[in-house]
């Protein structure tokens, strides 16, 4: 039996909710802001570090809140640009977070721009046929506190390489919600976490530097469009016709293209910003010129940017990455039609960077080890 904490994670608290808890114990209201300052600007990981708080208040924090909902297990460097982190949650679940560094001229890689890719669920219920995250189904949603703690763990780790960290700002530049899980299926916890790190008393992290990726959960795309925060959207299309999408993404049976595309259009009209269409290239599945032409029509209609991602092979799945020539032929077809398109270079293939793979392998190895031990 795994230990489940009764204490709520400290990283789920807002300034107001913490102030309300402090009021209950007759602590002065200004302490709430001091504590938030320690957590977000000074990156304290324990109450003991909060040196300007009275000892009894530090003890109260430790007794009433969980400061260690996420424990860092591993950091694996893929190439010089991609690092993958594995975090363990209180119930033993594993989640992945990826740090992607963008090489910049005249700046060492350590200090270059960083994008953090976060997970929102343990496993995924959506069952896309090509994806490792869905292979063993859905286990649970991450809580708001676990999502924020995931970000703060990375923030602390990268502080030494960031000038902005000295001003109490985040030590990464962008957040993409493209790790394990379907973010729209954990909408409320995710939004609460993103609003929390957006607040001026925490990281003040701009919503325009946050992108949420979805496999196409239409009602939530519409809900996100109505959020005043202004978060960016990426849609995992992976097929430019219902025929292809139905083959690889079960979500398309519920929300086919004739529902998904109008929702995408409504989103970009409300935001006045380009959305991104993600398209994994899988050999013989969606890499034909017909698909490229259909994709070009969709992208033009939506004024969307297209991100082409050569498929990362997943152990146990039959799908393959197309040859470089086929990838380039597909890209060219879009370019010729005036579409804004990027063919992503491989990021972290050698550390199992495809969504969910590191966690799956670790879980399987742990299961094997415990079986062997019995
Ligand atoms: N559930 C959301 C976000 C997480 S998946 C979504 O589907 O958009 C993040 C991205 O990784 C998606 O675009 C997904 O299709 C892609 N992905 C999953 N498995 C992959 C693989 N084996 N190779 C390349 N990309 C993969
Ligand atoms: Fe879930 Fe996204 Fe993987 Fe599909 S691609 S199974 S929605 S994580």
Q: What per-residue confidence (pLDDT) applies to 133?
A: 82
Report how far residue 20's alpha carbon sits from residue 168's, in angstroms, rounded to the nearest whole number: 25
163 DSSP assignment: S
Q: What ligand 2 atom has the least distance to the C-alpha of 180? A: 8
Phi and psi angles of residue 140, each rounded to the nearest 5 degrees, phi first: -165, 170
3 state DSSP class of 185: helix
Alpha helices in the chain (DSSP H): 15-24, 30-36, 55-64, 144-158, 187-198, 218-225, 242-248, 251-254, 257-271, 289-302, 324-336, 357-373
Beta bridge pairs of residue 277: 235, 306
Place of tokens 């199992």: 352
Query: 240-278: buried (b, 16+ CB within 10 Å) or exposed (e) per residue?
Result: bbeebbeebbbbbeebbbeebbebbeebbeebeeebbbb
What's the pLDDT score for residue 161?
Answer: 82
Determine the pLDDT at residue 346: 57
pLDDT on residue 314? 86
CATH 3.20.20.70 fits 70-373, yes or no: yes
Q: How far is CA 286 from CA 95, 178, 208, 220, 322, in A?
A: 29, 21, 31, 26, 10
Q: What is the pLDDT of residue 353?
A: 47
Any ligand 1 atom below 6 A from CB of 307: no
- Boundaries of every domain in the chain: 10-64, 70-373
Residue 76's pLDDT is 78
- 213 CA distance to ligand 1 middle (Å): 9
Do 312 and 84 touch, CB atoms closer than 8 A? no
List, for the chain, all residue ranges whose pLDDT scores fall below the cut of 70.
1-5, 78-79, 110, 346-374
Q: Is 355 a catalytic residue?
A: yes
Return the pLDDT at 315.
Answer: 84
Residue of 117, 124, 128, 355 marked catalytic: 355
**Residue 213 Cβ < 6 Å to ligand 1:** yes
Q: Is residue 327 helix, strand or coil? A: helix
The protein residue with its alpha carbon nearest to ligand 2, atom 8, reads 181
Residue 133 Cβ inside 6 Å of ligand 2? The answer reads yes
How far is ligand 2, taken at its centre, from the CA of residue 157, in Å?
Answer: 27
pLDDT at 101: 84
Asked whether the CA dihedral 87, 90, 93, 95 is positive or negative, the reply is negative
Best of 213, 220, 244, 286 for a ligand 1 pocket test (most atoms within 8 Å of beta carbon): 213
SS3 122: strand
Is the C-alpha dihedral spanning 371, 372, 373, 374 positive or negative?
Answer: positive
Instruction: Please name the CATH architecture into which domain 10-64 falls.
Output: Orthogonal Bundle (1.10)
Q: How many CA atoms lie within 13 A of 71 on its CB side?
A: 8
Confirm if 27 and 50 have CB atoms less than 8 A apart: no
Q: Is 182 in the pocket of ligand 2 (CB under 6 A)?
A: yes
Which residue in the block uniquely carries the two structure tokens 């991100």? 307
């Amino acid at each position: 039996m795994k230990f489940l904490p009764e204490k709520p994670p400290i990283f789920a608290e807002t300034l107001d909710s913490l102030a309300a808890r402090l009021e209950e114990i007759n602590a002065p209201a200004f302490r709430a802001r001091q504590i938030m300052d320690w957590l977000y600007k000074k990156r304290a990981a324990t109450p003991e570090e909060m040196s300007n708080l009275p000892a009894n208040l530090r003890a109260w924090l430790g007794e009433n809140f969980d400061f260690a909902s996420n424990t860092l297990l591993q950091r694996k460097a893929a190439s010089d640009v991609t690092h993958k982190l594995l975090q363990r949650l209180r119930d033993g679940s594993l989640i992945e977070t990826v740090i992607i560094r963008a090489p910049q001229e005249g700046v060492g890689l350590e200090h270059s721009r960083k994008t953090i890719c976060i997970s929102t669920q343990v496993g995924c219920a959506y069952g896309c046929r090509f994806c490792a995250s869905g292979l063993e189904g859905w286990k649970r949603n991450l809580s708001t506190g676990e999502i924020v703690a995931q970000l703060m763990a990375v923030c602390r780790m990268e502080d030494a390489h960031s000038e902005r960290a000295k001003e109490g700002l985040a030590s990464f530049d962008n957040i993409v919600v493209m790790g394990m899980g379907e973010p729209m299926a954990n909408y409320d916890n995710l939004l609460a976490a993103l609003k929390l790190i957006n607040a001026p008393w925490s990281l003040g992290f701009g919503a325009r530097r946050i992108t949420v990726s979805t496999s196409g959960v239409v009602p939530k795309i519409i809900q996100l469009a109505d959020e005043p925060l202004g978060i960016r959207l990426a849609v995992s299309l992976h097929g430019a016709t219902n025929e292809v999408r139905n083959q690889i993404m079960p979500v398309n049976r519920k929300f086919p293209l004739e529902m998904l595309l109008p929702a995408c259009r409504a989103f970009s009209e409300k935001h006045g910003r380009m959305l991104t269409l993600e398209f994994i290239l899988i050999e013989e599945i969606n890499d034909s010129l017909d698909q490229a032409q259909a994709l070009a029509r969709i992208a033009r209609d939506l004024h969307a940017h297209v991100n082409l991602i050569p498929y990362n092979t997943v152990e146990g799945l039959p799908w393959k990455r197309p040859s470089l020539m086929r990838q380039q032929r597909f890209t060219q077809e879009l370019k010729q039609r005036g579409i804004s398109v990027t063919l992503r270079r491989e990021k972290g293939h050698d550390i199992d960077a495809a969504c969910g793979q590191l966690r799956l392998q670790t879980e399987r190895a742990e299961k094997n080890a415990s079986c062997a031990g019995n």
